[in-house]
Amino acid sequence: MTNGSLAESTSLSTGLLDSYLAALAISRECMTWGEKAALEMEGQIVKHFGDQKHFELNELVIARWRPFPWDEFLETSLAAGEGLSYATDVPEVELRLYGESARLLNYLLFELTVRLPQVERWSLVTRLHHRSGIFGAFGGVFGASNFICFGAKYRFQRSEPRNSGSFGETSAKS
């Protein structure tokens, strides 16, 4: 967990706290626009460690951009997601840093995914995991928490072909 704002955490110009998380996420493409972009739904189960010990459940919609000029050598995608975050307890570090928090807050993610073209199912991922009250819109909460995350993603095989610009895709990731 960082001790900085969303902008400071994104630019890696912040300190770190003794709070960590492990997450399992499952997502599914709902719509694609050719090979360029996709819309996904994702659910997450998160366990916090260190100064926080609660669980967190997140549900979000993700927009993903896929084509980059170097994809022949390193396939890359960028994603941004928006949704809701529910903590099983009011997060202690959010309370300590901002004097307020709530179980239900807004959730944002920003993600960079890379993989070698010959490794079809596995990718490396870095994410920014952000919970906030959106300047008081959620129960008057003005604080936020930010985690810089690293992980791996596995792409399950599709059971039907991809249709460009349509709903009902069958791929899932974790």
Residue 57 has pLDDT above 50, yes or no: yes
If one looks up domain 6-159 in CATH, what number appears?
2.40.160.20
CA 33 to each of CA 71, 113, 120, 160: distance values in angstroms, whole numbers, following the listed order: 17, 18, 20, 17
What is the rounded distance in angstroms from the CA atom of residue 117 to the CA atom of residue 94?
A: 40
For residue 85, what are the contacts with CB-CB under 8 A and spacing of at least 6?
56, 57, 58, 104, 105, 106, 107, 131
Q: Which two tokens stand for residue 79?
A: 């994603």
What does the pLDDT read at residue 144? 87
| Mean predicted confidence (pLDDT) in 92-100 | 91
C-alpha span between 33 and 36 (Å, rounded): 6
Phi then psi for 95, rounded to 5 degrees?
-60, -45
pLDDT of 5 = 82
